[in-house]
Amino acid sequence: MPVIETHDLTKQYGSGDERLVAVDGLNLRIRRGEVFGFLGPNGAGKSTTIDMLLDYARPTSGSATMLGRDVHEASESLRHQVGVLPEGLGLYDRLPGRRHLDFAIEWKDADDDPDDVLDRVGLSTADAARTVGEYSKGMQQRLALGMALVGDPDLLVLDEPSSGLDPLGIRRMRNVVREEAASGTTVFFSSHVLGQVEAVCDRVGILSDGRLVAVDDVETLRETVGSGSELRLRLADEVPTDVADLEGVESVETAGSLLRVTTSTPRTKALVVAHLVNAGVEVLDVDSEEPSLEDVFAAYTTDRTSPGAEGDSSTEREVVA
């Protein structure tokens, strides 16, 4: 049984010419115990989807279940088992951080130790004694994450959990996600910052204009877009013309003394550098990059029919199939 399942989930605002389809026939299946990254640019429909899962918003058509139960019919009982970090949430400015956790524990009938929760999300006892009105955005986000963890949920739904967090906070959030996943919790979280989810996700779904354009594990997606790595070199001399003939080199671009080489395997990069050095070319700087989810993302969310768009549509079909 999938932990989250949607059937042609659709949300439409307005009608006629004003019609805006925020989520368009979404079919998602999230497996038990996985960490699923729900990716897409701002406005793709991620939050609308999550709002429907949490019963904050009602679908125009289609349906959704969490833990096998209808998200609307069973919304109250589901919230005993689901930890939620919604987007656009507002904590109570006049209440101390600790009071928020007390409420979360009380409302969930949980027996968590507030100090443990604070510790996990990186808030000190002194922080917890201050009112939330004095918190930075990052501290509020940490507290909200802590509130979501209360009651040992079977499923965590986190909407843009890294927003407002500093790099340290982001790392801590990732660790929390890993710990939860290790203890058997399914984690569903959205983000538009791809680098931050790459490290923790088992699978990724990419949403664009309310439609799911790709679902796969991170590794496969990366391969689909291109297994090649990119090598960037700054040379002291003229760029030799024979680099493109080397085995494993897919393309070569030059701009003045800059050389950009795309290779099919990471190993080819070393061959390119060795070749240049052997040919007596002085290499001033070397920079290399693995394809990131950013590239995957760009490949799937760019309108392919527009001039200048890279990639071809056959790739998309392969992944979706």
Where on the chain is the footprint of other proteins (CB under 8 A)?
A: 51, 54-58, 75-77, 79-80, 84-86, 88-92, 94, 103-104, 106-109, 144, 147-148
End-to-end Cα spacing for the chain: 21
How near is the Cβ of 150 to other proteins at its closest, in Å?
9
Closest distance of CB 2 from other proteins, Å = 21
- Please tell me whether residue 286 adopts helix, strand or coil conformation: strand
Which CB, 55 or 160, lies closer to other proteins? 55
Q: In terms of CB distance, is 84 or 218 closer to other proteins?
A: 84
* Residue 51 vs 295, nearer CB to other proteins: 51
> Which is nearer to other proteins, 51 or 230 (by Cβ)?
51
Query: Contact, 85 vs 190, CB < 8 A?
Result: no
At its nearest, how many Å lie between other proteins and the CB of residue 95?
A: 8
Report, in Å, the least distance between residue 16 CB and other proteins. 19
DSSP characters for 217-230? EHHHHHHHH---EE
Comparing CB distances to other proteins, the nearer of 106 and 289 is 106
Q: Give CB contacts under 8 A, 24+ apart, made by 89-94.
A: 89/144, 91/132, 91/135, 91/140, 91/143, 91/144, 92/132, 93/131, 93/132, 93/133, 94/131, 94/132, 94/133
Using CB atoms within 10 A of its CB, is residue 20 exposed (0-12), middle (13-18) or buried (19+)? Answer: exposed
In the complex, least distance from residue 202 CB atom to other proteins, rounded to whole angstroms: 24
**In whole angstroms, what separates CA 147 from the centre of its chain?**
21
**Maximum C-alpha span of the chain:** 72
In the complex, least distance from residue 135 CB atom to other proteins, rounded to whole angstroms: 14
- In the complex with other proteins, which residue's Cβ is closer, 28 or 145? 145
Count CA atoms closer than 13 A to 243's CA, side-chain side.
30
